Structure 1
Amino acid sequence: MDSWVRFNAQSQAKERLFRSVQYACTLLGHMLQKGGANSDLLTKIKQLEAHVSLVRKLMRLGNSAEALEAAKRAIHLSDCVLRLCITVAHLNRAMYFACDNVLWAGKTGLLPKLDQTKWSQRSFRYYLFALILNLTRDAYEIKLLMERESRSGGAGSGAKGAWSSPSSPPPDNSELLHSAGPQSPVLPSQGALSARLQRELHLLVAVLRYNPPLLLDLVKNLCDLFIPLDRLGLYQTGPGFVGACGLTSSVLSLLTILYPWLKLKP
């Protein structure tokens, strides 16, 4: 098992490269179709996309084992939220790869009676669940970092209006509360809400700016999310948008392979 995982890790960069080519063909075909290109050229691009997709499926044979090993490692994380999100996400990835392997067997003729539409929909459902869990993990990590940044006070140095000074006493609102009576709760003013939103936005920008791995993982997952949504018919965006999202996420994945420090851990 370990030797197969090590071998599979070496082929990830090639698979990501083929994925970039596949979605580049999707985007290019859409642009040429809108530009009125001849049907022969469009057919060749679609054939190239189909061949690259089939090669990718071949390269992903056995990826379920790697996903299961990753799930076994994640189950020992101390943080219960991260443990749940990462472990279940890897299990969904394992199921996605298993369905993808079955689909590859159907496309190559090894399983000629396979219902390819059914298995394709099934694989994209597992892919969608994995992406939702990955985005939940990203949101949780952003929340933790924003709370840490807020406690340290580092994000408030450049936005004095968004932070209240701890040395200045709070305003005396006893007369206002007495005149309002017990039936009239004091609601925050529009200015206070605006200041709070500015503070939260400033914290979010600061967290993402100083955590490139988290930013890349968030953008990559958001781009990938539109692919299963479109394939499942839940939110159809068209081949052009899907191609652009797939190409962007593939390039970001290649960056994390070329520069391992950009990969979000654990």
Structure 2
Amino acid sequence: MDAWVRFAATSQGRERVFRAAQYTSALLAFSLQKGGASLELVNRLRQLEAHLSLGRKLFRLGSSAESLEAAKRAIHLSDLVLRFCVTVSHLNRAMYLGCDNLLWAGKVGLAPTLDQGKWSQRSFRYYLFALILNLSRDVYELSVLAEREARGRGKVAGVEKDGGIVSRMRARLRLLCYVLWANPPLLLDLLKNGCDIFIPLDRLGLLKTNPAVVSFCGLSSSILSILTISQPWLKLKP
């Protein structure tokens, strides 16, 4: 109960709940439309999705400043690769959230002349770059932990010295699975970023899927985010 109270007290936590509800509405609308449901019901769900999206943008006002502060802290990391990935990711997230704030102003009528299509595409590009850097950081941390575990087992680069290619690949795969299972924050972050990246790829037309895939990925990553916010020990650091 205490964890939920702390979670609900944060704007980030409430934004994640809105995000989960938004993608649930989108997934239901697509499923019901395919199932032959009434157009009125489908339109109501789509309107709900639009309202939830607008509400999320309100919760994110000012978040770009938090990302800039996070980038300032990350620039002092001792590991060069982590320093680059984390710092540049926060900078791209700050730009993405800045564009998102402008889109909110356009949608509520504060900036009626704003080209929402152009700024939306720009926002998704920054979002995509941030996710690519997040995934790069995840892969790097996984490789470092796998190397460390391999040395502890007396192996070279995580594979057996003897045996064929298939056996070495199986050994490597088992090692990676073990490392991920032993490091829940890294596993959750990798899954979350892996789900999220389909959203900007689809919106930018780089990988066309369908609304069901995008909605399912958005819902899955939202649930993972809710889990990491409510249980801080599951959040990947730094």
TM-score normalised per structure 2? 0.93
Question: Unaligned stretches of 5+ in structure 2?
Answer: 1-8
CA distance in 2, matches of 1:25, 1:155: 49
* 1:21 is the counterpart of 2:18: no
The DSSP-based 3-state class of the residue aligned with 2:109 is coil
CA distance in 2, matches of 1:164, 1:144: 19
Match of 1:93 in 2: 93
More displaced 10-residue stretch of structure 1: 145-154 or 242-251: 145-154
Deviations 1:16-47 (A, max 9, x none): 00000000011111100110111000110000
Letter aligned with residue 92 of structure 2: N
The DSSP-based 3-state class of the residue aligned with 2:23 is helix
CA distance in 1, matches of 2:46, 2:161: 59
Contact in 2 for aligned 1:106/1:116 (Cα 8 Å): yes
Pairwise CA RMSD of aligned residues? 1.5
Query: Given the superposition, is the C-alpha separation of residues 144 and 114 from structure 1 closer, same or farther in structure 2, using an over 3 Å criterion?
Result: same
CA distance in 2, matches of 1:251, 1:155: 37
Contact in 2 for aligned 1:155/1:206 (Cα 8 Å): no
Larger radius of gyration: 1
Contact in 2 for aligned 1:11/1:59 (Cα 8 Å): yes
CA distance in 2, matches of 1:164, 1:95: 47
CA shift for structure 1 position 198? 1.1
Contact in 2 for aligned 1:138/1:214 (Cα 8 Å): yes
CA distance in 1, matches of 2:36, 2:10: 41
Q: Aligned residues: percent identity?
A: 65
CA distance in 2, matches of 1:263, 1:111: 36
CA distance in 1, matches of 2:217, 2:160: 38
Question: Unaligned stretches of 5+ in structure 1?
Answer: 1-8, 157-161, 166-190
Match of 2:182 in 1: 210
- Within a 5 Å distance, the mapping from 1:1-266 to structure 2 comes to 10-153=10-153, 163-164=160-161, 192-266=164-238
The DSSP-based 3-state class of the residue aligned with 2:61 is coil
TM-score normalised per structure 1? 0.83
More displaced 10-residue stretch of structure 1: 191-200 or 120-129: 191-200
CA distance in 1, matches of 2:161, 2:143: 21
CA shift for structure 1 position 155? 8.7
Aligned length: 228
Query: Given the superposition, is the C-alpha separation of residues 85 and 234 from structure 1 closer, same or farther in structure 2, using an over 3 Å criterion?
Result: same
CA shift for structure 1 position 163? 3.2
Query: Given the superposition, is the C-alpha separation of residues 56 and 154 from structure 1 closer, same or farther in structure 2, using an over 3 Å criterion?
Result: farther
